[in-house]
């Protein structure tokens, strides 16, 4: 198998991996002109279509550290929401108890 053929297979495999494990971004220059989906991964500095066709790419996908930061913030917000929900449930329980005592006092 020729070196050129091997590189083509590697490039197509990378393009496929980017397509299946990445996120769609707003299209950049080339993809916008050709009306292509611009799918970017941390595995590559180029989008799937530019990798597949071996074209220059000006897509600027998010870095791994940016993804980690977003995921940490999402987890923090989820935990904060769960704590807030638990507090709301405790307050509702206290309200029910208070109303029950108030009814008992009126009897």
How far apart CA 56 and CA 12 sit, in angstroms, is 15
More confident residue, 7 or 64: 7
Length of the chain: 107
Read off the pLDDT of each residue in 34-63 and give the average, rounded to a whole number: 75
DSSP state of 61: P
The structure tokens 């904060």 sit at: 80
- pLDDT band for position 50 (cuts 50, 70, 90): confident
Looking at residue 7, its pLDDT comes to 81
Least confident of 16-20, 49-53, 100-104: 16-20
Structure tokens at 24: 């769609």
Positive or negative, the Cα torsion across 69, 74, 78, 80? positive
pLDDT digits (tens, 9 = 90+) for 59-105: 765 666 777 888 899 999 999 999 999 999 999 999 999 999 998 88
- Is the per-residue pLDDT at 17 higher than 80? no
CA distances from 86 to 82, 83, 91 (A): 6, 5, 9
Answer yes or no: pTM beyond 0.75. no
Band (pLDDT 50/70/90 cuts) for residue 2 is confident
Dist. CA 64–CA 39, nearest whole Å: 15
């Amino acid at each position: 198998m020729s070196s050129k053929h091997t590189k083509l297979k590697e490039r197509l495999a990378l393009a496929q991996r980017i397509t299946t494990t990445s996120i769609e971004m707003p299209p950049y220059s080339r993809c916008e002109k050709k009306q292509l989906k611009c799918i970017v991964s941390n595995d590559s500095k180029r989008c799937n279509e530019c990798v597949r066709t071996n074209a220059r790419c000006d897509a600027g996908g998010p870095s791994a550290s940016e993804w980690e930061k977003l995921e940490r913030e999402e987890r923090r917000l989820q935990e904060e929401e769960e704590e807030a929900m638990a507090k709301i449930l405790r307050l509702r329980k206290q309200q029910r108890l208070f109303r029950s005592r108030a009814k008992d006092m009126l009897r």
